[in-house]
Amino acid sequence: MSENTVRYESAVARYLEAWNAREPDALAKAVAAAWSADGGYTDPLADVRGHDGIAAVISAAHEQFPGFSFRLTGTVDGHHDIARFGWELVDGADGSAPVAGFDVITLDDDDRIRGVHGFLDRVPT
């Protein structure tokens, strides 16, 4: 495994940790560990910058899907300061995954996320 592969996988692990944090303090710490201070998040439903905006988007997802968690699908792929990966939002009660997507992240020199470009591949009707 190359040094860059570890770099990308570690960044994605911190990213998913943030998305799976539910308590406000844990969420704030996880977002700060994953994103740069001026980092951003953009998908078809949101376009925010900064830790507070990112935490608000994550909290809203947990409100809409209580008891769900995010998990990686497949492998993380990357080059230079860019990585891509798939994910699913999984129901803790029955294991179904009604939401899935694909994200592309850019990293800063400290391996924190500068930006996320998210795509929704599967959403509930």
For the chain, the average pLDDT equals 96
**Contact status, residue 103 vs residue 118, Cβ threshold 8 Å:** yes
* 102, two tokens: 């694909």
pLDDT, tens digit, 9 for 90 and up, residues 56-76: 999 999 999 999 999 999 999
CB within 8 Å of 71: residues ≥ 6 apart: 16, 87, 88, 90
Distance of CA 112 to the CA centre of its chain: 12
Q: What is the pLDDT of residue 1?
A: 59
pLDDT, tens digit, 9 for 90 and up, residues 69-107: 999 999 999 999 999 999 999 999 999 999 999 999 999
Of the pLDDT bands very low, low, confident and very high (cuts 50, 70, 90), residue 108 is: very high
- How many other CB atoms are found less than 10 A from the CB of residue 101? 19
Q: What is the pLDDT of residue 4?
A: 82
Residue 5's H or E segment, with its range, is: helix 3-20
Residue listed under structure tokens 């935490």: 55
